[in-house]
A and B are shown apart, each in its own frame.
Chain A
C-alpha cells in the first residue's frame, strides 16, 4: 500500500523559507505513470494546488506562487521536496504531499502537516 509522509518544521518565521519533504513508501517515485505534488489548505478554507513534479524533474507550478516555489525530487531517497520562500502569515496552512495520476487526479495523499508562519 502506497504511503506518503510529510516532514519539516511546523513553525516558520515571516520572510523565511518553508521547507517540507515527502517520503514515499510502498512504491517507487521513479514510476513513469505518476506525478508528485503539493497541495495546501489554510485553516478553515479550501484546497490550493501548489505544484507538481515528474520523476524526470519536470515541474509545473501554480502561477500565483511560481516566483516563490521550488519542487524537487530525490529518486535515490524516494522523496520529493517543497521550498516556499518569503513566507507570510497567508502561507499558514496544512500542506499535503500527494501522488497524481494526472495533474488533476490525485489518488494518494499524505496525512498533511500544519505549517504556521509566525514570529
Chain B
C-alpha cells in the first residue's frame, strides 16, 4: 500500500479554515484515501473518505486532484474542539487494512 506523508503539526486560530495536505505518490488505481481524527485519550475515528475529485460531509471536505498523488483535508471554521491528530491513509479495502501504517499523523492545535 502507498505510504503517505503529511506535516507533523499545524497551528490555527479559531474560526479559520485549515487545510492539511497529504502526499501519496504511489497510490494505486484501486486505492481510496481515508482520513481519521484522534482526540486525546480516545481511539481514532473515521471522518472522511474519497477516491477522486471532492467529497464533503458535515465535518470536512476532501479534495483529490486528477493525478491522485495528494489529497487535502479541509476543516472549515475550526474551533477549539478540532484540536486533534489527523491521519491520512491509503488502502484498497478487502482486508488490506492490516498493511496500513498510521504513522504519527498531523497534530492540529487550535487556539483563540
A binds B: no
B contacts, CB < 8 Å to A: none
